């Protein structure tokens, strides 16, 4: 790190030298981040020589350790090598990239699809390309960071509305210049709360005010809806949504992202997005993994059904224990702890009881709303779920967060 002496206030590194919070939490033995997994079968992982149930992964379909996805990746490595060494625009397009784009567009009922190298790049690169000067973006305040960055680097004016507040969004649309190009952008499933966007209302508002609608379905495709087709399909409104983005790092057990929509729009983004043009393309093994995962998703609909059953069970039982799980409607179930340091201590106690979750603190959540983000997989067994619940019950009582009668003690 070099000279660790306190830097002068005009030193650009001063903010880094003065950042001590992480080291302070580490010294207390409560630091919950960057824990290396030493072994994993998906649902059970080994961390620091300690076996725990993974209740904090986005591996929703449980396919990261499926032998079929592993073999597909291995076969692609043998056939194509380890990487493409170029962008899709130039020498980095393989036949399987085109195959995946075609199959994803068909699966989601859209004309065309473009792949990106990460989910983050997908939203950042697509939003900054499609929204230009004199255009207006209407963005939910709880949208993922990649959407926020995409709006910031675009030349469009961004207007943020309170989370899922359709009345406020209407007022903002009413005040907007009717001659301006307009697009409403929202997560389909919000990554911290597990809530769904109000898609029927968003569709109606977009129509009324001549706006386009863009859904980020990173936590929805392969998770909810008709055969795992995402948040709009829950309401039978996929054909009413203009653009749908998603990622491969969750249900599809890989890495990368995609955007689907009308062919002219997708072609424009394909030829103008810096994130697409100037990034190396998805490696062959990643693409092959997604193709196999998409095939399994369609051939084994029980996985989405099982995920729905697990989600309902865990929401109900955590609520019955007395925990605040907000209004989750998906396999993402937050357990609100409140104070940040209490959240870290709760996380550590759960870990020692054999359960791994994700500690989420401000600014990712509001002040005083630090939480443990739990998420579930189709491959979790009933025994796994009950062990998780028992650990939460035990630690919740220990910290006085709940009582024995299933009530919040706060």
Q: Which residue numbers are catalytic?
A: 191, 219, 250
Beta strands in 111-269 (DSSP E): 112-116, 136-140, 157-161, 182-187, 212-216, 243-247, 257-261
Exposed (0-12), middle (13-18) or buried (19+): which is 9, by Cβ within 10 Å? exposed
Q: Are 151 and 185 in contact (CB under 8 A)?
A: yes
Q: Which residues in 168-303 belong to E strands, given as ranges? A: 182-187, 212-216, 243-247, 257-261
Distance CA 352, CA 110 (A): 47
Q: DSSP code of 188?
A: S
Q: What is the 8-class DSSP label of residue 255?
A: -
Contacts 24+ apart (CB under 8 A), 80-84: 80/284, 81/284, 82/283, 82/284, 82/285, 83/280, 83/283, 83/284, 84/280, 84/281, 84/282, 84/283, 84/284
Instruction: Compute φ and ψ for 356, nearest 5 degrees.
Output: -105, 125
How many CB atoms within 10 Å of residue 49? 7
């Amino acid at each position: 790190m070099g000279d660790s002496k306190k830097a002068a206030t005009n030193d650009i590194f001063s903010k880094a030298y003065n950042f001590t919070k992480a080291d302070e939490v580490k010294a207390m033995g409560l630091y919950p981040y960057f824990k290396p997994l030493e072994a994993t079968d998906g649902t059970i992982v080994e961390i620091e020589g300690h076996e725990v149930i993974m209740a904090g992964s986005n591996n929703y379909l449980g396919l990261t350790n499926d032998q079929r996805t592993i073999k597909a990746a291995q076969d692609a490595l043998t056939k194509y090598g380890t990487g493409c060494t170029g962008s899709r625009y130039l020498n980095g397009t393989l036949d399987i990239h085109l195959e995946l784009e075609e199959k994803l567009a068909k699966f989601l009922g859209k004309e065309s699809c473009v792949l990106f190298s990460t989910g983050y790049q997908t939203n950042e690169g697509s939003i900054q390309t499609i929204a230009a000067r004199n255009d207006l973006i209407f963005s939910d305040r709880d949208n993922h960071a990649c959407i926020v960055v995409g709006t910031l680097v675009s030349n469009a004016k961004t207007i943020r509305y309170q989370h899922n507040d359709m009345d406020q969004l209407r007022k903002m649309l009413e005040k907007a210049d009717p001659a301006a190009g307009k697009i409403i952008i929202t997560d389909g499933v919000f990554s911290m709360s597990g809530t769904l966007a109000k898609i029927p209302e968003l569709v109606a508002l977009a129509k009324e005010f001549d706006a386009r609608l863009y859904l980020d379905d990173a936590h929805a495709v392969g998770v909810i809806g008709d055969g795992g087709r995402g948040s709009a399909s829950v309401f039978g409104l996929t054909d009413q949504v203009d653009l749908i983005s998603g990622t491969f790092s969750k249900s599809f057990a890989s890495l990368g992202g995609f955007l689907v929509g009308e062919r002219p729009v997708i072609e424009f983004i394909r030829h103008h997005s810096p994130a697409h043009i100037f990034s190396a393309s998805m490696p062959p093994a990643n693409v092959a993994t997604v193709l196999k995962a998409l095939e399994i998703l369609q051939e084994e609909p029980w996985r989405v059904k099982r995920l729905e059953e697990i989600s309902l069970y865990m929401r109900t039982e955590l609520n019955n224990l007395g925990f605040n799980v907000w209004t989750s409607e998906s396999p993402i179930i937050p357990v609100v702890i409140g104070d940040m340091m209490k959240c870290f201590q709760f996380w550590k106690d759960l870990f020692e009881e054999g359960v791994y979750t994700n500690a989420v603190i401000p600014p990712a959540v509001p002040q005083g709303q630090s939480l443990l983000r739990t998420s579930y997989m189709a491959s979790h067994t009933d025994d796994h779920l009950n062990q998780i619940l028992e650990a939460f019950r035990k630690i919740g009582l220990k910290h006085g967060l709940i009582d024995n009668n299933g009530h919040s003690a706060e």
